[in-house]
Structure formats: C-alpha cells, structure tokens
Structure 1
C-alpha cells in the first residue's frame, strides 16, 4: 500500500496500531467497529433502516415490488453518524484522499466477514461519479483502494482505472433536498451512466453496487433499474453508511 493514512491517523485506535499500514482488511474492519455505530437490530431486511419490533419499514421503496424497486437489498457497514459521518465528509467534500484507503478496507472487511452476502456476485461496482467532480471522484478512489486491499482477489472488483460503470455527465445533487428532489436527481444520475464492459457479461449477472451513503435509496433504485434493464438478473447494494431514516 502506497497511500499514507490520513492525519490524524484514521479512527482513534489507528494511531497506536503497529499494523496501521499493513494490517489485513478484516482486522482493520473489526477494529473500526469499536468506533462505528452498528446497524440497529432489528432492521429492515431491504434497506437496513432500524425498525420497531414487528413493525414494517417506513421507507416507501421497501413496499414496492422488486420490479419497481430495482435492488433486492442494501447492506450497510455502519450508521451514518459520529466519526464515520465526519470522515466521509473529509473525503467527499474536502478531498482528503487518504480516507479512501480506510474506506476500501472497511468494504473488503465487510465482504470477508459476510461471505454469505457475497454468494453469486459476479461484479462489485461503484456507483460512479463524473470525471469532473470537485474536489475528488470519491467513489472511484474508494473502489480502487478496495481492489488493492483485496490481496487475494477473492471478490470480483474492477482493477483501478477500469470501472465497468461510468458517469458521462454531471447531474444535479440533492444532498439536502426533498424526497422528490432526490427522486429526480436519481433519475438524472442513472440516465448519465454507461456500461463500459462486455455487453454480454451483464446478461444474467448479479451485481453488488457500492456507494458511500444511503438516505432515501432513490438513486440506488434508479441505477439498479438501469442495470436490470441492461440485462442484470439482480442488483444488491452495499454502502459505508446508512443515514437514520428521517434524518
């Protein structure tokens, strides 16, 4: 690994860890869990949002049939809060690219400890950002780091610089918008995507679509529908952080 850890070094324990630059992804992931807020139990099996015992999820997407929802389920490494929320902001909005290394480790660590969720996955693909995104193409950096952290190439991640899904134009953002704003932004985002791989390879494929944050799920929905329309048999989601519903 050639990318240095961000300063201060990672999560609280990174600064005193002898393996901060050489530790295996699953070890770093397990250690980070001491800092991160775990996904609540019980939670929605579709969108990972916390739910009251015996009650359905209030996310409208989870009530839709699969043909309209697009994705079968979305898992999250942790809740969008505290240190994880702050560090995602550091990468996404400040361009602190060292955090991509740690997030890549978190993703690979999750895959290593949730092998059952990885069964049958043909492609692990980042939900792309446009090449002109300022200050950084954060998803691409994270996915490149994840590939490098997957030392045994146990998972079907694309090699750095060779994404299978690219965004050909910038589209409106809706980070602080209404649900309708998010829906419209999700439609525009999905329409700007292009599959760059072998067209035959996507036919019947199971795709794990990776992103940094899940809020309403509208963008994931429309990207998933686009992939299914292109021939994918199933789209699953994996995000670093799940925003608590209503926040």
Structure 2
C-alpha cells in the first residue's frame, strides 16, 4: 500500500498518521477497513442489518412497498461500534472537526470502491442539519471534506456551501428516543428540508443520501419519500455506521 514509506497508523490513530494530510481516500479507507467492524454477512439487502440465515429482516421499514419506504437500499461503511462510534461522537457532539476529513475520505473511498452502485447516481447529498446546529453542522462538514477528497471530481458531490438539500428550521432530535418519537421527529425533519437547485433537476434523478448513523431508518425513510414526491426516481442511502437493531 505504501511501499518504502511509513505504514499508516491505523484507525483511530489518524491524528498521528504520516498520511493524515497527504493520504488519499482509498488509502485511508483501506487502512480503516482493517480495524472497523464490517457489516455482517448475511445482511438485509435493504437496510444492511445483520440477518440470521433463513430469517427475514425484523425492521418494519424493510417490509414496506418501495413506494411507501422511499429508499431502495442503505449501505454502510461499517458497524456503529468501538472507535468509530467514539469518533463520530467526537465530531457530532464535541465539534472535533479533524474527524470530518477522515470521514469524508471513508465515504469517498467507499464510493470509489463500489463503481457499480455509483454509476447511475446523479447527486450525492447529505441529510442536512439545521444551520444553527451546535457545536457543528457535522453532516455538512463531512460532505465538504468528501468534496475536497474527491480529487478527480468523478463523483456528483456539491462544492462546500453549495448544498442541494438544506434544513431551514430546527426540529426535535431523534437520538435515544422510542421508535414512535423517532418517527415523529423524522416527519418534522423531512418537512423542514428544501431542495435548493432548479426543481427540474430532481425529476427522474437517482440520489445517494448520506448520513452518519442508521438505526431504524425512520429519518432516511421520510427524507427519501420527500425527495421522491419531488420527482426523484430512486433514493439510496450511504451511512458511516449501521447501528445493530433488533426491532
């Protein structure tokens, strides 16, 4: 991977890695893949939840018809555990911005290594946070980093600040809430979103919706349904981390 050069330090020792500032998305993605907990096999083809062989996924969202569910599938870079869980928390709740760059590289690395799943994608957009979110708009920070790390400009990412999907108002948070409250918060979140581009751009498009964490899928479901109601032909999800969920 780095013949004749120092070995990468490994995730989560990224801050002291020789390639922190000069590494590529693929290098960082491959390095992190050696320590992150991968998505289990077999897993649900819709929500990436681990499956017991011969049993159907217990996530209610996955049993809905596609027209009601909104998204066609959600992929995850890794499972929400250990160091990845800790570093997402550092960025999201403590504003440790250095992790946005690493997460941007992990997302771009995933996209580069899955060309078949990216071939039909017209837009890669973040599931937005409120403009006044404190301590940081973490999704926007990750998406800005992803654009920077896409050095070949091969991916349909928006430049920093030019977000196609924005959130105009603060809504209730869904983290650590019962499922019914998550759904209510997800409905309010989706209703607060605005597509900033020409409304004709979204017609017939395939959108890859990026988020940090996926648990039950309620929020991505409602955002995807909002995008499809606006004319998107297909909405897929890509998250940094899949939370193990038993329904």
Total equivalences in the alignment: 239
Distance 1:37 1:81, change over 3 A: same
Instruction: Provide the rounded CA distance (Å) in 2 between the counterparts of 1:19 and 1:91.
Output: 20
Residue 24 of structure 1, CA deviation: 1.1
Structure 1 unaligned residues grouped into runs of 5+: 1-8
Note the 1:30-41 alignment, pairs <5 A.
30-41=30-41
Bigger shift: residues 9-18 or 140-149:
9-18
Residue 220 of structure 1, CA deviation: 0.2
> Does 1:169 pair with 2:169?
yes
Note the 1:19-98 alignment, pairs <5 A.
19-98=19-98
Cα deviations across residues 152-173 of structure 1 (Å, max 9, x unaligned)? 0110000001000000000001
Residue 100 of structure 1, CA deviation: 0.2
Residue 17 of structure 1, CA deviation: 3.9
How large is the Cα RMSD of the aligned pairs? 1.3
Instruction: Provide the rounded CA distance (Å) in 1 between the counterparts of 2:135 and 2:23.
Output: 29
Instruction: Provide the rounded CA distance (Å) in 1 between the counterparts of 2:243 and 2:91.
Output: 17
> Does 1:116 pair with 2:119?
no
Q: 1:157 is matched with which residue?
A: 157
Q: Which runs of 4+ in 1 moved over 2 A?
A: 9-20
Cα deviations across residues 38-76 of structure 1 (Å, max 9, x unaligned)? 000000000000001121100000000000000000000
Residue 10 of structure 1, CA deviation: 7.6
Q: 1:6 is matched with which residue?
A: none
Instruction: Provide the rounded CA distance (Å) in 2 between the counterparts of 1:138 and 1:22.
Output: 22
Cα deviations across residues 122-162 of structure 1 (Å, max 9, x unaligned)? 00000000011011000000000000000001100000010
Instruction: Provide the rounded CA distance (Å) in 1 between the counterparts of 2:18 and 2:91.
Output: 24
Instruction: Provide the rounded CA distance (Å) in 2 between the counterparts of 1:10 and 1:140.
Output: 25
Bigger shift: residues 155-164 or 10-19:
10-19
> Does 1:217 pair with 2:217?
yes
| SS of corresponding position for 1:194 | strand
Cα deviations across residues 67-88 of structure 1 (Å, max 9, x unaligned)? 0000000000000000000000
Q: 1:203 is matched with which residue?
A: 203
| SS of corresponding position for 1:73 | strand
Instruction: Provide the rounded CA distance (Å) in 2 between the counterparts of 1:20 and 1:169.
Output: 35
Preserved CA contact (<8 Å) 2:147 2:160 = yes
Preserved CA contact (<8 Å) 1:28 1:109 = yes
Q: TM-score, normalised by structure 1?
A: 0.94
Instruction: Provide the rounded CA distance (Å) in 2 between the counterparts of 1:15 and 1:196.
Output: 35
